[in-house]
Structure 1
Amino acid sequence: MASGIPVSDDCVEQFRNLKHRKHKYIIFSLSPDMRSVVTLKTSSDASYKNFLAELPDNECRWAVYDFEFEKDSAKRNKICFFSWSPDTAKIKQKMVFASSRDSLRRCFDGIHMEVQGTDPTEVEYDAILAKALSSTR
């Protein structure tokens, strides 16, 4: 069941920019009044560690990250959609985020991988790399 919370046009525009390599990652959240999905931050910083630092310990976020890796001596990339819902986030926020996720995800054409994380081990570099390698032919 969808929450009916609309996605701002800026979210879609920033995703297009990421696909055209203008951004490395985008962080999304609910607006303060919890009535729409908004872009919180865009970055061209290639550091996965810095990207992970954008995922707060006690609040939910969505993110899109252009994950680069090597397989068979070739550089590859996968656009990853992250649903970050830490166990320590408030129950109401987790419920609204979960019910709004599909509305946001449907706006993005070209996602290669989806990652759901509730603790840092689920989104650490090695876990994402393993998932990317296993899903690449």
Structure 2
Amino acid sequence: MANSSSGMAVDDECKLKFLELKTKRIYRFIVFKIEEKIQQVTIEKLGSPEETYDDFSSSLPADECRYAVFDFDFTTDENCQKSKIFFIAWAPETSRVRSKMLYASSKDRFKRELDGIQVELQATDPSEMSIDIIRGRAL
């Protein structure tokens, strides 16, 4: 169903794969892309459980906006294994203004489709989503 403010639809596959990441943990991350011609959010890349945070961050284009979710595993100070699902709104400074506006106006609607996100991060360059920042936000 398209959103009246952004006119953006969400492919059912996005919700399905996110549910698999959340419940079955068969993906480490998912990169989503807005297909402007069809006004729909689609999946661009699925990261396998073996892939690392570096694999994830290198899969984001340097000059185009994307949405992404990353399943971050960590150990607490009490030595408990935990994981948190991060939603990352990637909008590099070098991306087109129209694209940045489109991603910004569609973000909340898209995020609501993905039930189970625990932490949200906005990033305009890789330093704003470094593993240290991710770790700090997870704890």
| TM-score computed with the length of structure 2 as normaliser | 0.91
Which secondary structure state, in structure 2, belongs to the residue aligned with residue 13 of structure 1? helix
Alignment of 1:70 onto 2:63: no
Q: By how many angstroms is 1:46 displaced?
A: 3.2
Look up the match of 1:3: 6
How many residues get paired? Answer: 133
In the alignment, the residues of structure 2 paired with residue 102 and residue 33 of structure 1 have an alpha-carbon distance, to the nearest angstrom, of 21
Alignment of 1:48 onto 2:53: yes
Q: By how many angstroms is 1:85 displaced?
A: 0.4
Letter in 1 for 2:39: R
Identity %: 39
| TM-score computed with the length of structure 1 as normaliser | 0.92
Contact 1:2 1:102 in 2 (8 A): no
Look up the match of 1:37: 41
Letter in 2 for 1:17: E
Look up the match of 1:122: 128
Letter in 1 for 2:7: G
Alignment of 1:14 onto 2:20: no
Unaligned runs of 5+ in 1: none
Contact 1:86 1:118 in 2 (8 A): yes
Alignment of 1:87 onto 2:93: yes
Please identify runs of 4+ aligned residues in structure 1 that moved more than 4 A: none
Deviations 1:64-116 (A, max 9, x none): 11001111211110011110001111101000111111121010111110011
Unaligned runs of 5+ in 2: none
- 48, 52, 58: which is aligned to 2:63? 58
RMSD: 1.3
Deviations 1:10-50 (A, max 9, x none): 10011011012111110001115151110111111330000
Look up the match of 1:23: 27
In the alignment, the residues of structure 2 paired with residue 52 and residue 2 of structure 1 have an alpha-carbon distance, to the nearest angstrom, of 30
